Amino acid sequence: MEHEERYYLMMMDALDGELADGDRAELESHLRACPDCTREWRTLLAVETLFRQTPMLMPAVDFAERTLARLPNRRARRVVMGATYGVLLLSGIVPLLLVILLLARYAPILTQPALLAGVWATVSGIGRAAATVVGALFTGASHLVIEQPVLIGWFIILAGLVFLWGGVFQRLLMQPTGVGSRN
Amino acid sequence: MNREEIGTLNDEQVWLEEARRGDKNAFGRLIEAYQGPVYNLAYRMLNNSGEAEEAAQEAFIRAYTRLDSYDPTHKFSTWLLSITSNYCIDQIRKRRAVMLSIDEPLPPHPALHSDNSKGPEAEFMTREREQLVQGLLGELAEEYRQAVVLRYWYDMSYEEIADVQQTTVSAVKSRLFRARRLMADAGLARGMVPAGEAAVAAM
């Protein structure tokens, strides 16, 4: 009920010690008149008391010692990480510098019109050759579909079997082996 | 803040600085200082002493390897507990993925098996209370459980809990509101006795 929700909110504030004086008087008056809310308040208070009185639990006496033994070596880790970052950085910077140097060194030769025309002719020749090969493959495949339907049927069955067994193996590999490690 | 607390905080800053430079022993001092809170949080979240210890160790290892990302303007304890509780939530989700439930009868904390310093009656009461507390926590979704544990055992403000949970203060309030009501209902169902007449006047 709507009025209960309002009083529940007041009870929460009371548990947190944040209930305003005006609300406190209103809640007290309501609790005297409403048995359901009184029961709820008493139960909330019992739970509150139970939790407030339950002490912290401590780990085994040698916990700190065992945890310390498991700590990784931060210094070594930092050196390894630094070296990795350095290598990665150099692997990007060094080739870039080499390209810039080569471009600067051979810029007069590279910008000659005859060379540029030759490069363009080579690139377009490779493109034409690739287009011919792809076209031939498509033509061959279409001939195969028309002339050898049985072979195509076998390919489809083979692909289906690979897909099916792939799924089965994946399920087998994903099987959980345990809850987790314990000391 | 008293002089002792200021001294501890100063020590903490020194240990953190030394640990950042790779001094394991300095971090060992931090482990000694925070092993209780970290382990308790892990146990309250996971309800299993073995998993709690593993989670607490993992939290310290993660904190040590990520020390460079720690922002000194925040409390170290909040940052450490945040790592711990997030790791525990991941573990709970993994556990759920292998169809294990928090409601399974798990072994209680070793400290609860027997305590010679208490009489058998006090020991029984302690175990009963622990079982009830863990049972009630087990009724909650992991984000609710996290909010409740941080609120009751660590006295964190709504703002601090929101910081740990990376959410808003109003979301934390809403989670605690629902969690308390869920636990009250679950408590009644488990035969918990409501507080006495004086409770009305105890506000």
CB atoms within 10 A of CB A134: 10
Does residue B179 have a pLDDT over 50? yes
Task: Assess A32–B contact: CB distance below 8 Å, yes or no.
Answer: yes
Task: Supply the pTM of this predicted model.
Answer: 0.66
Domain ranges, ordered by start, for chain B = 1-107
Q: Are B140 and B178 in contact (CB under 8 A)?
A: no
The residue-averaged pLDDT of B78-84 equals 95
CA atoms within 13 A of residue A99's CA, in its CB half-sphere: 6
Provide the CB-side half-sphere exposure for B57 (13 A, CA): 22
Q: Give percent of chain A above pLDDT 70.
A: 91
pLDDT in the model for residue A73: 82
Of A39, A48, A57, the CB nearest to B40: A57
A-to-B residue pairs, Cβ atoms closer than 8 angstroms = 160
- Are residues B35 and A32, on separate chains, in Cβ contact within 8 Å? no
Dist. CA A29–CA A16, nearest whole Å: 19
pLDDT score at B118: 63
Which residues have C-beta within 8 Å of that of residue A1, sequence separation ≥ 6? Answer: none
- Compare all CA atoms of chain A with the CA of B67 and give the residue at the minimum distance: A74
Task: Identify which of B61, B91, B199 has the shortest CB distance to residue A42.
Answer: B199
pLDDT at B140: 95
- Kindly report the average pLDDT of chain B as a whole number: 85
ipTM over 0.90: no
Chain A neighbours among B 18-57 (CB < 8 Å)?
19, 22, 24-25, 27-28, 31-32, 35-37, 39-40, 43, 50-54, 56-57
Asked if A64's CB is within 8 angstroms of B35's CB, the reply is yes
Q: Which CATH architecture has domain B1-107?
A: Orthogonal Bundle (1.10)
B62 near A CB under 8 A: no
What local confidence, expressed as pLDDT, does residue B127 receive?
85
DSSP A129: H
pLDDT, average across residues B130-155: 94
pLDDT at residue B161 tops 80 = yes
pLDDT band at B143 (very low <50, low <70, confident <90, very high): very high
Least confident of A72-81, B17-26, B59-68: A72-81
pLDDT at B203 over 70: no
The two tokens of residue B34 are: 């925070």
How far apart are the two ends of chain A, measured CA to CA in Å?
51
Q: Can you tell me the mean pLDDT for A47-60?
A: 92
| Residues of chain B neighbouring A75 (CB-CB closer than 8 A) | 22
